[in-house]
Amino acid sequence: MKIDKIIELSQSSDLPKDGWIQSCLTCGTKTARIHDYKIEEHTLYRFIFKAFLCPECKKKINTSVFKEKFNNKCEKKIKKINYTYVTLENELNIPVDSENIKLMTNVSF
Nearest CA to 46 out of 73, 74, 83, 77 is that of 83
pLDDT tens per residue, range 8-40: 999 999 999 889 999 999 999 999 999 999 999
In sequence order, what are the residues at sequence separation of 6 or more whose Cβ sits closer than 8 angstroms to the Cβ of residue 92? none
pLDDT digits over 79-92, tens only? 888 665 554 445 54
Locate the domains of the chain by residue range. 3-105
Give the pLDDT score at 84.
Answer: 58
Average pLDDT of the chain, as a whole number: 81
